[in-house]
Structure 1
Amino acid sequence: MTATLTYIRDWQKAILAEIIHLKKYGSTRYLMLNGRLLSKSDSYTYFFDTPSTIKVPTGSSIKIEWGSRKVEGRILSSEGNNVILALDENLGMDLSETYLLHDPWELLDQLYQRLEDMKESKRKRSRIKKLMNPSMPAKHPEDKIKTSTHELILRSKYNPVTYVWGPPGTGKTYTLARVAANKYFKGQSVLILAQSNQAIDVLMAEISAFAANKKKVPDGELLRYGSQIGPALSDHPSLTANYLLQKHHSNLAEKKDSLFEERRLLKYDLSRSFSKRDSDLLIDVEKKLSGILEKIRQKEIEFIKSASIIGSTLAKAAGDPAIYEKNFDLVILDEASMAYVPQAAFAASLGKRVIICGDFKQLPPIAAARQKMAEKWLREDIFHHSGVSEAVKDGYLHPHLFLLKEQRRMHPEISAFSNKHIYHSLVGDHPDVLAARSDIAACAPFPGKASVLLNAAGSGEYGIKDGNTNSRINLWNLLLSFQLIHESYIGGSRSIGYVTPYRAQAVLMEQLLGELYEKELTEADIIAATVHRFQGSEREVMIFDTADSFPHERAGMLLIGKESERLLNVAITRTKGKFIHICDLDFIQKHVYRNKTWRRLADHQLQNGQAVHPDKIGKWIKNQHARLQWMHARKMERVKEDIQSAQRKIVISLPEAEKLGEGWGKVFSLRHKSTKLILLAQNPIRAIQTDEVIPHRFPFPFILIDEQILWLGMPAETHKKAKPPYVAARLDSAVAGTYLTSQFNQRK
């Protein structure tokens, strides 16, 4: 058995390796413009404009990169489109363009220090020992169990450590909230921890709603501690420290609000026209605000001392002595499968009893360092290292593992795959979930179907890699996905998610939605993200774009690698009523083994009659968007009009240029004499007279006009692996045009 001190030392080595990696490679870069020196005393205070909001906490250590120089400093203020920094060195009065570099290693350093504290505390080490080696017999009286919630209440009363396995939609929030409220009603203290602010907000809101139905809860008894409060608490404002401050210390709250507003106006004036008077006033406001915030901090400490249930993120708790120096009767760690093992140990060290809740079938923690200890302790969750998940692999539930067995989120057509292939029939459907989700499944696209495989095979070879990041991109899948979002929206859906394994694909969809769907985004809950970013969220309609296709010679590791089952599980189980899986079946059947989860998903959908093949594209596309139209690729009337209207340049990509039809030469000859024609092909061709040939071959044909109008899939005869029906898409998008231009410019 490993000694607890050995665990702690190994965790510190892992954290130190991650810190070193982040310091060396992990900086996030933010562009800053128009830097002006405001003052110089102990440090040099600068004001910068920023093209977009920089979300870095006040007080964070940063670096400034200006040419070849790098200077350290810290954030004084970051809100809106400007920042105020305190730098260690003078960079001059005016800085036209600089970069802010922020390393998120400071949070890890705080965790490192908490581990150091544990070395000196026998009580904390004892709690960690039980967490890591839950071999003690379970002591809760099984004969007294009335319901599943009651079982967890009993487990957390009689056992020092309880692991909760909460697959998606199984009532994790409902159950944990009632356990926390039960402890509160008995006069016990509870700490709620999680990685994300959203998880804390949702759980605290549920606790508040349940407790308020049982008895009147005095203000301050339940406290959501932290500054990043989300919409989940909009109906529960009394949980926040800001509410308590306004109620009990309104003068401080008013002074803070007044100074924030004064600072905002001064920063706005400075961004428009710099003046010495405004800069001096801003420095004075910052000093006053610092004093007020310190007084507010002392009041918040009083709120923490008075609260019975406190909700906080792991990062906030590890950096705040008001939390980590307290001892709680019960600690509940939600999202535990996303937390580092040392974070779970930190959580367990704070309470007499601990509930560790998560789903080890979803995505594990993320670490960047390629170092032995970091890979061991920061890339796998506490369920794995405690032996709890290994017991499940061996065919039984660990004595200290409590499984939530009934899912209420997904339509049964969707959950059928995850229940069987991911959770091995340990999880089933609630009897009411079919009726609850049928209305969503009834909506377009594919009315009446809850699970759909949209087969993109035969469309052509659209698989490429982004020139900047090497992340995979598939423009055909991207446009199909946008069309699905549009059909869903027109069909009445207002909760739509788009997920993909690849960041470049997700970013491009996010930009495309911002350009083409600006109004709809304000009226509906539509999000585009990687699967990793989407964990913990849910939508009524989910579109899963796998992006992988020919001419790639193998599937990406995100879809077939070690953690691919977890990634696919997250993608599927975010859905309530309609799951649409976009993939190239020919590619899967050629390059993905039958035992891989992605192949199993495709086979499952095929066998259950859920596949929609390319020949049905004309039937499911009911609503052409004004800026995205689909048509037969052999019809040339509209593309002729666009070519004749071109003002600056036309770029044409021909994968198999020798197959270009004779009629295209005449079509391109119709362009204005001043319009430049650029050919992307290995060699010039006789059929068309070009102004420039770039010897780069995209695997798919397209025509790009003035970096705005994109004809994807034309000229159709130059395709590879394309089969009837030959379909082309006309997209009016500066986002897509700029992206494609950047890609072939990189390859010149």
Structure 2
Amino acid sequence: MDELFREKDKLPILEEGKVLRYGYVRDEQLNKNPYVSSFCYTVSKNPDLHKKLDFLQAEYDKIKHTKGYNSKNIIEVRKEIGRIRGQIRDQERHNVEKASIVATTISKVIMDPIFENKKYDVVMFDEVSMAYILQVVCAATFCKEHFICVGDFKQLSPIAQSKAKEVLCKDIFEFIGINQYGKPYYHPWLVMLDEQRRMHPKISEFSNKYVYSRLLKNHVSTITSRGSIVDAPLFKKEPINFIDLSGCHCAAAKNTDNSRYNILSAFISFAAAVQTEKNVDNVSIITPYAAQTRLIRALTLDYRQKNTTKIRCATVHQFQGSESDVIYFDAVESYPSKKPGWLMGKDFYSIERLINVAVTRAKGKLVTVANHRFWERNYKNNSSHMFYRLLIHSIQNGNRVEFIDKKTIKKLVKKLSLKDGPEFYLMPEEYLDLVQNDLENAKSKIIVSLPCGELLMKYEEKIFNGIQKAKLRGVQVFIKSNDYANLPEKWKVYACRTDNAIFPILMIDDQITWYGVPLAPWKFVDRDMTYKTICPIVCRVKGKYTAEMIKSLSNLEYRNMNGEENLNNLEEVSGFKGYIQKYKKCLYCKKPLILTKGKSRKTILWCKECKKVELVKPDDINHYILVNHVKCPRDGWDITAKVGPYGIYIECDGGHSLKVEEI
């Protein structure tokens, strides 16, 4: 559908409803088009219903924020919205039945009654390498004459976490014998499409050489039609690019879902993508890990508060089947982990398929963001790893931006700062006054995470003074360090020991995030080698979504000692945490309990003395709320603790929910 919108001569086909997409559209920009889906198309053809629906939706939102979900009026409005949506759905079914071409997902075909007993002359199953065998069989039952599978067994296979994943992860190519352990075999049904019309030849060269055994041909248009993309800044006249973060403190970690993220890499990828977007039609950021995707999307949400951007961010799996003028491939992996995660390090054939998808999404320019030193340390003696091959290929045949030799990364960083987005600094003199100003304006909370305790005395004084003054004003201060013993004595007054201070972060009021502050001789230790940070990039981001995401991913507000989480400065903890410590005693040893998170990430009550654990009860929370007249910290509405399918949560009468830690 996206391609049809770009072809102006194809718009009449959409306007007449001959081609319809049935189902939800994830892309925000596409979703604004009246012809993007059968529902939007139906609404656009019924202006009266459209007007009624918009009015009722506005009324629903108004009542929800003023009177809450239990209001009698909101129930009536909800029923009326449902009735009008029902009318639209009935008309939508009629439009889908009349359409010449219907595009939908296999899940819709299986589950939605609109396709019951329906037959089509031709059924085409796209991206079939990602489908389970039974889904392919099901799709075939809907065709009268022709069933066509379109896909690439050198791209991503189905995903499964079941014990039967060896069966479920087998794609149709492997099932019928075309693909055996990554090697292709002849089959009478197989037709190979050996000419590509998407990528600039310099980009397709990598996949052609390492994936397709040089069987892939470039259509002549790939040279002539990609020139404007290649010639555009950033990286003018360079189709293949590699931003090498070796020498920078680009720490990576994993969240509770074992999905990896890299804060500095996310900031650089996002800022570079926004700068690139000024000169081309579309730019996308893809990454192997969902956690990194969520962080970059949070950056995007904050940036969109005052700016516009069409940048898309997705995992490689989500982006298969899509394309973009420029692709930023953020590899995420870095120290202090010694080895890459499962997606990028375990199964070499799966890695080959993932990297092939990532590379082949780019039409005119590919920019890989990674720590070359990390990958070289792991795979220098194993050149069959496909991502390491991509890095070597980019160094030998493209444009490498780095610090160790030519220091070109400094020039790049100076171009990346965005108004209302990530701001980058290379020298302390450039940012110290701004940090001090942020600390002077702190109102409620300051959080500091220090991987290294040997702070540079020349620069830490201003920051410490700002923190100390904020503390005297009543601002809550929480400082944790992996290297507590080497902290200056004055910092130890406010700091605590931990082993989960992976990132150098200063966060103020859950709004302003400083990465790389205060300055210290950051370093990574890898077995017998120590890698010092020789290019300390500092970044400032102002945005509640980014701050909240970093806190959520990194457990920034928690300290971790030997795998157990607890809180700092117990006697000074306020809110519900302080209430628990003051009034709740351990049933066994009668010592104060601590509100924290267990290994399953659920909120629990933990006894530091005897290590016993209790569950938090809604009655405890509601008693605290009643006695202390606690309101929602976001909008001031009444709140109530409830138990849902995933545990305890706080429901606000304003129409949203909170975590226990937020009250």
TM-score normalised over the length of structure 1: 0.62
Q: What's the secondary structure of 1:363's corresponding residue?
A: coil
Larger radius of gyration: 1
Runs (4 or more) in structure 1 with deviation over 6 Å come to 203-208, 217-220, 229-236, 241-247, 274-277
Q: Aligned pair 1:596/2:391, yes or no?
A: no
Q: Aligned pair 1:632/2:426, yes or no?
A: yes
Letter in 1 for 2:117: E
Instruction: Name which of 270, 274, 288 aligns with 1:482.
Output: 270
- In structure 1, distance between residues paired with 2:296 and 2:38: 35
> What are structure 1's unaligned runs of at least 5 residues?
1-197, 248-252
Counterpart position of 1:139: none
Alignment of 1:729-740 (within 5 A): 729-740=539-550
Judged with a 3 Å threshold, the aligned counterparts in structure 2 of structure 1 residues 337 and 724 are, in CA distance, closer, same or farther, namely same
Cα offset, 1:578, TM superposition: 1.1
Residues 587-630 of structure 1, C-alpha deviations (whole Å, 9 max, x = no match): 11111332111111112112225322221122233533245443
- In structure 1, distance between residues paired with 2:391 and 2:205: 13
Q: What's the secondary structure of 1:549's corresponding residue?
A: coil
Q: Aligned pair 1:532/2:317, yes or no?
A: yes
The answer (yes or no) to whether the contact 2:435–2:463 under 8 Å persists in 1 is: no
Judge which range, 606-615 or 406-415, deviates more. Answer: 606-615
Q: What's the secondary structure of 2:532's corresponding residue?
A: coil
Cα offset, 1:240, TM superposition: 5.1
Cα offset, 1:485, TM superposition: 1.7
Residues 651-677 of structure 1, C-alpha deviations (whole Å, 9 max, x = no match): 5444342x4334356434533753236
Alignment of 1:553-702 (within 5 A): 553-562=338-347, 563-592=350-379, 593-614=382-403, 615-623=407-415, 624-626=417-419, 628-633=422-427, 635-636=428-429, 638-640=431-433, 642-643=435-436, 646-647=439-440, 648=442, 651-657=447-453, 659-664=454-459, 666-668=461-463, 670-671=465-466, 673-676=468-471, 678-685=479-486, 687-690=488-491, 691-697=493-499, 698-702=501-505
Cα offset, 1:704, TM superposition: 4.0
- In structure 2, distance between residues paired with 1:283 and 1:667: 55
Counterpart position of 2:612: none
The answer (yes or no) to whether the contact 1:702–1:715 under 8 Å persists in 2 is: no
Q: Aligned pair 1:551/2:336, yes or no?
A: yes
Q: What's the secondary structure of 2:124's corresponding residue?
A: strand
Judged with a 3 Å threshold, the aligned counterparts in structure 2 of structure 1 residues 715 and 299 are, in CA distance, closer, same or farther, namely closer
Cα offset, 1:227, TM superposition: 5.1
Q: Aligned pair 1:746/2:565, yes or no?
A: no
Q: Aligned pair 1:338/2:125, yes or no?
A: no
Judged with a 3 Å threshold, the aligned counterparts in structure 2 of structure 1 residues 714 and 315 are, in CA distance, closer, same or farther, namely same
Letter in 2 for 1:712: G
Instruction: Name which of 195, 198, 201 aligns with 1:406.
Output: 195
- In structure 2, distance between residues paired with 1:606 and 1:284: 61
Judged with a 3 Å threshold, the aligned counterparts in structure 2 of structure 1 residues 278 and 376 are, in CA distance, closer, same or farther, namely same
- In structure 2, distance between residues paired with 1:287 and 1:729: 47
- In structure 2, distance between residues paired with 1:740 and 1:538: 29
Residues 360-390 of structure 1, C-alpha deviations (whole Å, 9 max, x = no match): 222222233x232xx2443222122111223
- In structure 2, distance between residues paired with 1:574 and 1:548: 20
Cα offset, 1:309, TM superposition: 4.6
Residues 561-588 of structure 1, C-alpha deviations (whole Å, 9 max, x = no match): 3321121112111111111101111111
Q: Would you say how many aligned residue pairs link Structure 1 and Structure 2?
A: 526
Residues 238-290 of structure 1, C-alpha deviations (whole Å, 9 max, x = no match): 9958868998xxxxx57754663564355245323379763574476368548
- In structure 2, distance between residues paired with 1:308 and 1:517: 38
Cα offset, 1:329, TM superposition: 3.6
Judged with a 3 Å threshold, the aligned counterparts in structure 2 of structure 1 residues 668 and 685 are, in CA distance, closer, same or farther, namely farther
- In structure 1, distance between residues paired with 2:221 and 2:90: 52
The answer (yes or no) to whether the contact 2:439–2:467 under 8 Å persists in 1 is: yes
Percent sequence identity is: 26
The answer (yes or no) to whether the contact 1:455–1:613 under 8 Å persists in 2 is: yes
Judged with a 3 Å threshold, the aligned counterparts in structure 2 of structure 1 residues 288 and 637 are, in CA distance, closer, same or farther, namely closer
- In structure 2, distance between residues paired with 1:671 and 1:280: 51
Cα offset, 1:738, TM superposition: 4.1
- In structure 1, distance between residues paired with 2:449 and 2:281: 37
Counterpart position of 2:257: 469
Judged with a 3 Å threshold, the aligned counterparts in structure 2 of structure 1 residues 332 and 637 are, in CA distance, closer, same or farther, namely closer
Judged with a 3 Å threshold, the aligned counterparts in structure 2 of structure 1 residues 408 and 246 are, in CA distance, closer, same or farther, namely closer
Letter in 2 for 1:745: E
TM-score normalised over the length of structure 2: 0.69
Letter in 1 for 2:469: S
Q: Aligned pair 1:507/2:507, yes or no?
A: no
The answer (yes or no) to whether the contact 1:643–1:705 under 8 Å persists in 2 is: no
- In structure 1, distance between residues paired with 2:37 and 2:250: 54
Judged with a 3 Å threshold, the aligned counterparts in structure 2 of structure 1 residues 411 and 590 are, in CA distance, closer, same or farther, namely same
Instruction: Name which of 190, 212, 215 aligns with 1:423.
Output: 212
Judged with a 3 Å threshold, the aligned counterparts in structure 2 of structure 1 residues 735 and 348 are, in CA distance, closer, same or farther, namely closer
Letter in 2 for 1:729: C
Q: What's the secondary structure of 2:469's corresponding residue?
A: coil
Q: What's the secondary structure of 1:365's corresponding residue?
A: coil
Instruction: Name which of 12, 15, 22 aligns with 1:226.
Output: 22
Counterpart position of 2:176: 386
Judged with a 3 Å threshold, the aligned counterparts in structure 2 of structure 1 residues 324 and 203 are, in CA distance, closer, same or farther, namely farther
Q: What's the secondary structure of 2:238's corresponding residue?
A: coil
- In structure 2, distance between residues paired with 1:400 and 1:378: 22
The answer (yes or no) to whether the contact 2:505–2:513 under 8 Å persists in 1 is: no
The answer (yes or no) to whether the contact 1:549–1:584 under 8 Å persists in 2 is: yes
Between Structure 1 and Structure 2, the one with more helix by share is 1
Counterpart position of 1:722: 532
Cα offset, 1:439, TM superposition: 1.5
Q: What's the secondary structure of 1:528's corresponding residue?
A: strand
- In structure 1, distance between residues paired with 2:113 and 2:296: 42
Judged with a 3 Å threshold, the aligned counterparts in structure 2 of structure 1 residues 242 and 528 are, in CA distance, closer, same or farther, namely closer
Q: What's the secondary structure of 2:484's corresponding residue?
A: coil
Cα offset, 1:735, TM superposition: 4.2
Letter in 1 for 2:294: V
Q: Aligned pair 1:285/2:80, yes or no?
A: yes
- In structure 1, distance between residues paired with 2:272 and 2:15: 48
RMSD: 3.8
The answer (yes or no) to whether the contact 1:204–1:224 under 8 Å persists in 2 is: no
Alignment of 1:33-112 (within 5 A): none
- In structure 1, distance between residues paired with 2:414 and 2:54: 49
Q: What's the secondary structure of 1:710's corresponding residue?
A: strand
Residues 180-239 of structure 1, C-alpha deviations (whole Å, 9 max, x = no match): xxxxxxxxxxxxxxxxxx5xx768999994997xxxx9967x453635478879999599
Judged with a 3 Å threshold, the aligned counterparts in structure 2 of structure 1 residues 391 and 205 are, in CA distance, closer, same or farther, namely farther
The answer (yes or no) to whether the contact 1:337–1:362 under 8 Å persists in 2 is: yes
Q: What's the secondary structure of 2:465's corresponding residue?
A: coil
- In structure 2, distance between residues paired with 1:391 and 1:398: 16
Judge which range, 273-282 or 356-365, deviates more. Answer: 273-282
The answer (yes or no) to whether the contact 1:472–1:505 under 8 Å persists in 2 is: yes
Judged with a 3 Å threshold, the aligned counterparts in structure 2 of structure 1 residues 292 and 473 are, in CA distance, closer, same or farther, namely closer
- In structure 2, distance between residues paired with 1:443 and 1:218: 34
Judged with a 3 Å threshold, the aligned counterparts in structure 2 of structure 1 residues 297 and 234 are, in CA distance, closer, same or farther, namely closer
The answer (yes or no) to whether the contact 2:5–2:11 under 8 Å persists in 1 is: no
Judged with a 3 Å threshold, the aligned counterparts in structure 2 of structure 1 residues 278 and 706 are, in CA distance, closer, same or farther, namely closer
